[in-house]
Chains A and B, each alone.
Chain A
Amino acid sequence: MWGKKYLVMAQVAAKNSATTWLVVVVGNVQTVLLFFALYAVYKTAFAQGAPQSIGMTLADVLWSMSIYSLFWAVGARAMANQISDLVTRGSVEVHLVRPASFLFSQMAARFGRNWWLAWVQIILVVTLMLLLVGAPSVTLSLAIVWRFAILFILGMGLGYGIYTFIGILSFWLQDVKPVLWIMDKMVMIFAGAYLPVALMPDGMRLFAQWSPFGAILPATQVFHEAFMQRFAQLLLSQIFWIVLCYGGMYIVWHRATKKLSLNGG
């Protein structure tokens, strides 16, 4: 089976990462504090009376942002630095001779490495949200849950693809950090890290919906009343960007390996 070797790679990486439990704990402390800060800010904002047009309660807003943090726990963002480090240190050729796709191997390893962090964070964040704000006001019917799952999983694929693409740019750029920062911040704004996409003005929300930055995480809009009406558009945007991203990645990667020259030793 094609994907079996990558599944094994992910499993091995997950087992290795289980030894660094302290990193998992400390990483989650930071997430907890971030949510306390966000709760403090939005509680104050809602206390003075939120506008009717918002269409979301305080609980919905916090849950929406929790989806954002859970998404990044799976490790997509780290792909850029992971690949860039291998390229700039000259270690990439060791991986190129292996009988597996370098890019998919790296994705599998990163996914496995973040496996336990992601699960710990899911349990922690869900518990924290229930304690802080209670359940979201939206009733999570089966129809909503499977739509959310599709968007979340496709978003993971797109996130991994985009950040891997940035990592590949290290074959041409001395330092991909500026590109990574800009991408990070665009995703932060348009995927709803600190302000849910559903609350944005219409123009901004449409841009978020149709741009690759928002297409990574349209799942955060699940708690807005208009989610079901917008689902088809969100899915279409995601599929479009996934095809473009992985197609572009294929082309760029082949150009990168042709450009690569090894100095022996």
Chain B
Amino acid sequence: MAKSSFFTVFFQEIRVAMLTLRMNIHAALELRVAFGLQVLGMMVNNCAFLVLWFTFFSVFGDVREWQGLDTLALMGAGTVIFGVVAILSEGLPHLADLVQTGGFDSFLLKPRNPLVRLATHKISVSAVGDVVFGVVCLVIYAVLGDVSPMGWVGFLLVLPAAMIVLLGFDIACQTAAFYFDDAANIAFSLYKTILSPSLYPAGLFTGGYKFFFTFIVPSLLIAGYPAEVLKSPDWKMIVLVWTVAIFWFLGSVSFFFFSLRRYESGNHIGG
């Protein structure tokens, strides 16, 4: 039997992943009240950062060409990016528990890419609230802000790269499951290192701090730089985000499969 080409396998994996996600969404929608509460709760939750930064800029005024209105671009970009990545890869944070309980074996036994299967086996309902909130923020920013068509083009170009950065970082953090016992807490704490500073205005970072939060812990690439591209398109910034995204993604996926070789099944019966 002829071996399938890389692209055939790639598109098959994507198709199976999309089918799994659709099934998970249908399952989540069965509990409509819980679904609605989680979506709404997350939208209210996200308003907090808007209030914070609006108040910050009302106290300090415009800082390095960042003003209160730009917070909408920042939150819009951040929540859309985070929401889409969370919807597509909510299964990743469960890796530590699966490894501990032996449930990860079932992913290895299937004739599919275990990383893709792992990422898509669960869905985050609250992340839908993030995406809805983000879109609303971007629409309001489009109406009230002064965004050029090139700004939108640049933003749409940089958006997938920012998602890839976040996904790559998440994969790298969750790979801790193959090395440590209490990996769930460790992986979550590591993941929060990128999450918390990601909703800070990128323009307020200078010098060594900007370098650190761009290349070492790429928080600024998640929301700050996409928001800056939206405000004023900068093609160098788009190239920078894509370069870091490719590096993080290839590096983290390689790290995951390298670490997978360390995995030994616990022979958990029924797992």
Contacts of B210 in A (CB 8 A): 40
Interface size class of A (residues with CB under 8 A): 35 or more
Given contacts A23-B185, A188-B48, A194-B52, contact A44 B63 (CB under 8 A): yes
Query: A36, B212: Cβ atoms under 8 Å?
Result: yes
Given contacts A20-B182, A177-B38, A182-B45, contact A201 B31 (CB under 8 A): no
Contacts of B217 in A (CB 8 A): 33
Query: B31, A174: Cβ atoms under 8 Å?
Result: yes
15 contacts between A and B (CB under 8 A): A23-B182, A26-B185, A26-B186, A37-B200, A39-B209, A40-B209, A41-B200, A41-B204, A44-B64, A44-B205, A45-B60, A54-B59, A178-B37, A181-B44, A195-B52
* Interface assignment of A199: CB less than 8 Å from any CB of chain B: yes
Interface residues of A in 23-40 (CB under 8 A from B): 23, 26-27, 29-30, 33-34, 36-37, 39-40
* Interface assignment of A204: CB less than 8 Å from any CB of chain B: yes
Q: CA A27 – CA B191 in complex, angstroms?
A: 10
Q: CA A29 – CA B61 in complex, angstroms?
A: 31
Given contacts A23-B182, A26-B189, contact A189 B58 (CB under 8 A): no
- Picked from B40, B48, B61, the residue with its CB within 8 Å of the CB of A186 is B48
Query: B59, A195: Cβ atoms under 8 Å?
Result: yes
Contacts of B45 in A (CB 8 A): 178, 181-182, 184-185
Closest Cβ of chain B to A138, distance in Å, is 19
Interface residues of A in 100-157 (CB under 8 A from B): none
* Interface assignment of B120: CB less than 8 Å from any CB of chain A: no
Contacts of B213 in A (CB 8 A): 37, 40
Closest Cβ of chain B to A100, distance in Å, is 26
Query: A23, B189: Cβ atoms under 8 Å?
Result: yes
The digit string for A1-24, where 1 denotes a CB below 8 A from any CB of B, is: 000000000000000000010110
Residue of B nearest to A37 (CB): B197
* Interface assignment of A265: CB less than 8 Å from any CB of chain B: no
Contacts of B42 in A (CB 8 A): 178, 181
- Picked from A50, A174, A188, the residue with its CB within 8 Å of the CB of B60 is A50
Given contacts A181-B44, A204-B55, contact A40 B206 (CB under 8 A): yes
Given A41-B204, A177-B126, 9 further pairs, Cβ under 8 A: A23-B185, A39-B209, A40-B206, A44-B64, A174-B31, A178-B37, A178-B44, A181-B126, A200-B59
Interface residues of B in 128-167 (CB under 8 A from A): none
* Interface assignment of B263: CB less than 8 Å from any CB of chain A: no
* Interface assignment of B89: CB less than 8 Å from any CB of chain A: no
Closest Cβ of chain A to B220, distance in Å, is 9
* Interface assignment of A51: CB less than 8 Å from any CB of chain B: yes
Q: CA A29 – CA B188 in complex, angstroms?
A: 12
